[in-house]
Amino acid sequence: MGATSGQGRQAGGTPRAAMADLLAGNRRFVSGQPVHGHDVTAAAAASGDQQPYAVVLGCIDSRVPLEAIFDQTFGAICVIRTGGHVLDRAVRGSIEYVVGQLGVPLVMVLGHERCGAVQATVEALRIGQRPGGSLAHLVDEIAPAVTEAGIDDPAVLPLAIRRHVRRTVRTLRQDDLLAGPVATGRVAVVGGLYDLATGEVALLDPG
């Protein structure tokens, strides 16, 4: 497992090392040579403690299983998934816990192409009808990114997906309990985008 035992693979490592390990895992996945893909067994699950080195917040989309696309084994990363990686108090509290209590140095927000949650928000804004129930929370949270991208822009979906990742990153960087460690460099919050066609994760600049 030498390929995966980088410096970042532990709480208290640096954000840079954690990012390198995460992206190395994605490259293994893309190349069709995952180290852990074959080892999704109860024995592997029971083999150790958790020492996560990153927390990834992604979408519920069934095509984007986060541990798989980063080729991570049990205990390596914490994963949070909501529709369109929308934040709420439970999500923020979970990230605060992982960063504050488990000492994790890296938070990645991962959007993906053709996101149904963003598409649903585009459609809701186009017809001017807010959905009922708690679905409205998702639309409300994604709507500013769609408006910024321009509802009439033919490329509104890919543009809004990127803006929504960046907005989510900015919100987390300003979070009450995250802003301090982010300011000192102990923790990094970064945005990424998953390509459904290639399996590749690309980092997004802050924009």
Pick the stretch among 21-29, 111-119, 157-165, 176-184 that binds Zn ion (CB under 5 A): 111-119
61 or 175, CB closer to Zn ion?
Answer: 61
117 or 193, CB closer to Zn ion?
Answer: 117
> Across the strands, what pairs with 112?
194
| The token pair that represents 7 in the structure block | 């410096």
List the one residue out of 57, 52, 69, 58 whose CA is nearest residue 94.
57
Phi, psi of 54 (to 5 degrees): -155, 155
Residue 179 · residue 95 · CB < 8 Å: no
CB of 18 to Zn ion, least distance (A): 24
User: Of residues 1-60, which lie at the interface with Zn ion (CB under 5 A)?
Assistant: 59
Residue 131 · residue 117 · CB < 8 Å: no
Which CA distances in Å does 128 have to 125, 143, 154, 163? 5, 11, 18, 21
115 or 187, CB closer to Zn ion?
Answer: 115
Phi, psi of 191 (to 5 degrees): -110, 145
Torsion 92-62-197-120 (CA) sign:
negative
Q: How many residues bind Zn ion (CB under 5 A)?
A: 4
List the one residue out of 5, 169, 165 whose CA is nearest residue 72.
5
Answer for which of 115, 178, 182, 204 binds Zn ion (CB under 5 A) is 115
61 or 141, CB closer to Zn ion?
Answer: 61
Bridge-based pairing state of the strands 77-82 and 201-204: unpaired
Answer for which of 21, 61, 141, 175 binds Zn ion (CB under 5 A) is 61
18 or 110, CB closer to Zn ion?
Answer: 110
DSSP state of 52: -
CB of 112 to Zn ion, least distance (A): 6
Give yes or no for residue 138 binding Zn ion (CB under 5 A).
no
138 or 172, CB closer to Zn ion?
Answer: 138
CB of 193 to Zn ion, least distance (A): 11
Residue ranges that bind Zn ion, judged by CB under 5 A: 59, 61, 115, 117
